[in-house]
Amino acid sequence: MSDCHGSAVELAQVRPSGTRKTVAIVGPPNAGKSTLFNLLTGLRQKVANFPGVTVEHRVGSMKLRDGREVDLLDLPGVYSLEPRSEDERITRDALLGKLPGVSRPDAVLLILDSTNLGRHLMLAAPVLSAGIPTLVVLNMADDLEKRGGSVDAEALANQLGAPVALISAAKNEGVDAVRNYLSGQFAVPKPVELPVLQDVPKCRQWSAKVGNQARYQPPAPPVWTRRLDSVFLHPIAGPAIFFFVAVLVFQTIFTVAQPLMDATERGVSTSAAWIGETMPETWWRDLLVEGVWGGVGSVVVFLPQILILFLFIGILEDSGYLARAALIADRTMARIGLQGKSFIPLLSAYACAVPAIMATRTIENARDRIATILIAPFMTCSARLPVYTLIIAAFIPERPVLGSFLGSRAAAMLGLYVLGFLAALVTARLLKSSILKSDRMPFMLEMPPYRWPTVRSLGLRLYDRAMAFLKRAGTVILAVSIGLWVLAHLPLKDGRPPKIEDSLAGTFGRTVEPLIEPLGFNWKIGIGLLTSLAAREVIIGTLGTIYGIEGAGEEGSPEQSVGLQQALQRDLTPGAAVALLIFFAFAMQCLSTLAVVRRETGGWKWPAAQFAYMTVLAYFGALVVNQAAIRGLF
């Protein structure tokens, strides 16, 4: 196997069917591995402009010229083959063929950032010495050229004894070379003896020498990155901009999203009314109108908001600002015993806790990692957004707080986000000063150059988000709504459904009512709290269904007689509404999160503790608020 020469050709030879070849994509963080993977497979691995985006392996199928398919393997970025964290371990294991369920790669695509070749070439020595046929891919050729750098790929190939291709994955330039290589149509140079260097300075000397021989001209420093940093990292302007942007996000959610939401809502209710009128009066018409339209429809309305939130997160991640935010946050994180690197998963938890918990794999210290996993669900995920919006819109009148810049509703929303963040900080502080105490870990984070988020990548993100959201509405929420509708119509009395209070669902709700009455919630909210254990936004679908059934019962009209907001105003006092907000801020109502915590921590211990802690906090938080409101304390 030591003969690398011609091995790429071997890959292309016809193999007995059933033995698919595996090609691993290896390289330093943020070099563009996932961008290339997406290009070659047509999949949509997450791409963003900061190190440590990919944290697990992902297999995708790629069609070669001759019609055969190979398995392409996208891997987390590594600085060397000496792992310090979980994600780096995965890449090392994959190269050694030790990754469960993945065979040892038959070829490697080593992706290096051509604008930083001196340092990135250090990875070439150990990877090439692994003895797997390797194509060295120098990515970001567009950037290299723009900043006046250059490299002689052929000379480099001769130096390394491995073929070299200069490409731009983002611009889809030169990528044919990669396809040619995998199809065996690429000249492979004579292998050379590579130094096996454990010593980093010696390795760096070697890479400098190789770079010189390949006439590598490093590019000029990124001027714009420096200019932008002098603004974003300015001691006063920096934090001010951060605050300004945060406020802008929430204000946009209430102002820009509102007309869109109203339009969607009109669409939903008009179509519900239309169905109600045109279809014959049967039980399945009621199921469709009350269960499906009332349940799923009332959640779908929140799509515009979620998309606006994700647009901002996308800009944050693609531009490279996220790494600067982690830098600014490091001091605060240090005070609670964590470090700036923990801040990156926490920020992505604003979208969803599940990928955020996965992203903690980049944290080197095991205890820091567990602490970050445990606090991530306190961050306000996008599933809380519809719940917050609904309650805020129903109970808080719109008034200017900071002129037209910040309204009272956006301010309330901002407050809830801050509350979640504070809960996370306090919890981390408690954990890090007790059971998860550890030495302070150093903070080292590479700052990527700023890049323009492209319309295409933002568009794809939003599209994927919208699809995921609608899929959830069409599966979990649909199932819960239909199930609930059925339970709300049973048991039949003389062939007719009972009053909803006396139905199975109603009985269930009224059984838990004594428990939640001190919080100001009635049995309907109780049912919502139970169903929202599956996922937070399910409460909206549930309430939509319940009120739909109720409305139909009252007025005999098949359409939703009162909107969700008015119905809530009837059912909750303002104090109880705040209590409900607090409950949602703290409670762990997400099965997917619990499942991923179990997987990442390797057992039920942590997810169970986390669930108990968050539920207790949510219950007592809501209790205190509601009782204080009853006693007129606010």
Partner 1 sequence: MQLSVDKRRWVTLADLLEGQQGVLDCLELPEDLARRLMELGFVPGHVVAAAKSAPGGDPRVFRVDGSEVALRRETARCLRVRLAE
**Prior bond of 219 cis (ω within 30°):** no
Task: Provide, rounded to whole angstroms, the least separation between the CB of residue 554 and ligand GTP.
Answer: 54
Given candidates 7, 25, 27, 34, which one binds Mg ion under the rule CB under 5 A?
Answer: 34
Q: Is 226 helix (H, G, I), strand (E, B) or coil?
A: helix
Given candidates 442, 495, 602, 632, which one binds partner 1 under the rule CB under 8 A?
Answer: 442
Question: Is 32 a residue that touches ligand GTP (CB under 6 A)?
Answer: yes
Cα(553)–Cα(627) distance, integer angstroms: 33
Q: Which x/- pattern, by CB under 5 A, does the window 192-231 give for Mg ion?
A: ----------------------------------------
Cα(103)–Cα(364) distance, integer angstroms: 26
Residues in the chain: 634
Across the beta sheet with 22-26, what order do the strands follow? 58-63, 69-74, 22-26, 107-113, 134-139, 164-166
Q: Which does 446 bind (CB under 5 to 8 A by kind): ligand GTP, partner 1, Mg ion, none?
A: partner 1
Question: Is 440 a residue that touches partner 1 (CB under 8 A)?
Answer: yes
Q: Is 45 helix (H, G, I), strand (E, B) or coil?
A: coil
Strands 406-407 and 400-402 come out as: antiparallel
Give the residue with the Cβ less far from ligand GTP, 142 or 501. 142
Given candidates 130, 247, 260, 334, which one binds partner 1 under the rule CB under 8 A?
Answer: 334
Query: Residue 308: which of 474, 477, 455, 465 has the closest Cα?
Result: 465
Question: Is 204 a residue that touches partner 1 (CB under 8 A)?
Answer: yes
Given candidates 54, 91, 114, 545, which one binds Mg ion under the rule CB under 5 A?
Answer: 54
Give the residue with the Cβ less far from partner 1, 187 or 237. 237
Task: Provide, rounded to whole angstroms, the least separation between the CB of residue 136 and ligand GTP.
Answer: 15
Given candidates 192, 200, 591, 616, which one binds partner 1 under the rule CB under 8 A?
Answer: 200
Cα(203)–Cα(612) distance, integer angstroms: 50
Rg, the chain, Cα only: 28
Q: Which does 330 bind (CB under 5 to 8 A by kind): ligand GTP, partner 1, Mg ion, none?
A: partner 1
Residues in Cβ contact with 9 at an 8 Å cutoff, skipping those fewer than 6 apart: 184, 188
The stretch near ligand GTP (CB under 6 A) out of 138-146, 257-265, 386-394, 499-507 is: 138-146
Residues in Cβ contact with 384 at an 8 Å cutoff, skipping those fewer than 6 apart: 416, 536, 584, 585
Residue 615 burial (C-beta neighbours within 10 Å; 0-12, 13-18, 19+):
middle
What's phi and psi for 12, nearest 5 deg?
-85, -15
Give the residue with the Cβ less far from ligand GTP, 318 or 550. 318
Residue 627 burial (C-beta neighbours within 10 Å; 0-12, 13-18, 19+):
middle
Residues of this chain, 40-99, that bind partner 1 according to CB under 8 A = 79-80, 82, 84
What's phi and psi for 559, nearest 5 deg?
-85, 165
Given candidates 8, 12, 51, 99, which one binds ligand GTP under the rule CB under 6 A?
Answer: 51
Give the residue with the Cβ less far from ligand GTP, 124 or 543. 124
Distances (CA, A) of 199 to 29, 161, 193, 604: 21, 21, 17, 42
Given candidates 161, 285, 401, 443, which one binds partner 1 under the rule CB under 8 A?
Answer: 443
Angle between helices 455-472 and 303-319 (to 10 degrees): 140
Question: Is 551 a residue that touches partner 1 (CB under 8 A)?
Answer: no
Q: Which x/- pattern, by CB under 6 A, does the window 273-312 give for ligand GTP?
A: ----------------------------------------
Given candidates 7, 49, 305, 601, which one binds ligand GTP under the rule CB under 6 A?
Answer: 49
What is the binding site for partner 1 (CB under 8 A)? 79-80, 82, 84, 115-116, 118-119, 122, 200-201, 204, 218, 221, 225-226, 229-230, 233-236, 238-239, 323, 327-328, 330-331, 334, 339-340, 440, 442-447
What is the binding site for ligand GTP (CB under 6 A)? 27, 29-35, 47-49, 51-54, 76-77, 139-140, 142-143, 168-171, 318, 451
